[in-house]
Chain A
Amino acid sequence: MARRIEPHRFTTLLETRDMKKAIRSFGVGMSMAIAAAMAVPSAYAADAATSEVAPEKKEQPDATPPAVGDPAPAWDDLLGIDDEKHSVGDLIEAKAIVVVFTCNHCPVAVAYEDRLVELAADYKKNGVELVAINVNNMEADKLPAMKERAKEKGFEFDYLYDPSQRIGRAYGAMVTPHVFLLDGTRQIAYIGAIDDNMNPEKVTQHYLRDAIDAVLAGSQPQIDTTKPVGCGIRYE
């Protein structure tokens, strides 16, 4: 009987910053070899006769998105819903910055809007800034629609638009919503999901809030990477 093994458990093993950095330096092909060598087979695959190849990934070292511990890509002069240009340098006083890639059309992103409003309000007094960035170019996502949504929902944070999509690619943003927490030195402290369920009533893990609390306390988040869940960003 043919059995299937997938490398998702390898990924778990590779979640630490040092490992990821070391592996990236060897290149993607070597990383898969290391991952395969370190793999702990799960119970159902313990007697697997065949092993699977990892999901293919074209080698583009220069395009590798940043990982936790890396310096955060900067955004410069992105137009906001206030028709002003915004840069990361404007937030020099912030003790931490939550960068969230979001958009208007995605039901998952919409499901998180109220949570973002609450989070921004809760942490403003602690010197944490929230910056929402949209890089989707669907009509429903463009600046006029962003302004409307921000007004409707009472966004009290920057909501920026990058039609070039460069900032999304620079961060390696995959979905909406996808969050990147920047610490006081503007290194990335957390990447992933806001919490563990798009339904607010079913949330049991507050990944982003926990990570912010850790950064404000001067420590590293216990969980610094999670899988984001959402609508794939429509890169063009």
Chain B
Amino acid sequence: MNRCRRRHVAACGLATCALLLAAIGCSPTEKAQTESAAQNLVQLALADRVEFDAVLARLADKVVLVDCWATWCLPCVEQLPHTVELAKKHGSNGLAVVTLSFDDRNMSDRAAKVLVEAGAGTNGVTNLQSRFGASPESMDAFAISSGALPAYKLYDRKGTLRRTFELDPTENQQFTPQDVAVAVNELLAE
């Protein structure tokens, strides 16, 4: 009898919670599902330097553009769609695009969501995340000499790093996404 009553009370409690959450609009469960769905659409593969090089090796014979970014870097997030546009435009001409996130692992879902919003979940983009997160070790591992993001690396079809785009305070003008696009075109034309 008592067991029956406890079940009844528990069921009522759950129903009340569900109604309350529905009334709020976006429940924590829904939020988690959204984040989870984002992660399902974009798989961020953890990479150290060796794993990163292995990915590049698999893309041999293609021009490879690597977009080094992070969710904590506002210009990076703004420029991601531009990188995706390059993938869309030149994917069939031999361009492979790799994104490399410098976020900590507890930010993977957030990074995946940003990538989905930028269109990097499709369009043949390979999405990586540094195993070292947002740390000097990450910058060392991937040779970001400035420590500043966004940074881009561009490899030719032979696998040689031909261009890097990083902040340089000794320059009067910093690089723009257009500069990256021009360099991509140049290497594709070789």
Per DSSP, chain B at the interface is loop
Q: Which of B148-190 contact A (CB under 8 A)?
A: 148-150, 155, 158-164, 166-171, 174
Question: Could you tell me if A172 and B170 are in contact, using CB atoms closer than 8 angstroms?
Answer: yes
Q: Do A232 and B167 touch across chains, with their CB atoms under 8 A apart?
A: yes
Q: Which of A42, A226, A231 is within 8 Å of B73, CB to CB?
A: A231
CB-contact partner of B167 in A6, A199, A233, under 8 A: A233
Q: Report the stretch among A50-58, A91-99, A115-123, A212-220 that lies at the interface.
A: A50-58
Bits for A207-231, please: 1 = Cβ < 8 Å to B, else 0.
1000000000000000000111111
Inter-chain contact A8/B136, CB cutoff 8 Å: no
In the complex, are the beta carbons of A227 and B168 less than 8 A apart?
no
A60 touches which one: B139, B142, B161, B170 (CB < 8 A)?
B170
B149 touches A233 (CB 8 A): no
- Complex interface: chain B residues within 8 A of A178 (CB): 147
- A79-87, A150-158, A190-198: which one contacts chain B? A190-198
Q: How many A-B Cβ pairs are below 8 Å?
A: 145
Residue of A nearest to B166 (CB): A55
For the complex with contacts A175-B146, A232-B150, A233-B167, 19 further pairs of A-B residues with Cβ separation under 8 Å are A4-B56, A4-B161, A8-B140, A8-B145, A11-B140, A44-B49, A53-B161, A56-B163, A57-B168, A58-B170, A58-B171, A106-B72, A108-B134, A192-B136, A199-B104, A227-B139, A227-B144, A232-B73, A232-B75
Binding site for A on B (CB under 8 A): 49-50, 53, 56-57, 60-61, 72-75, 102, 104, 133-150, 155, 158-164, 166-171, 174
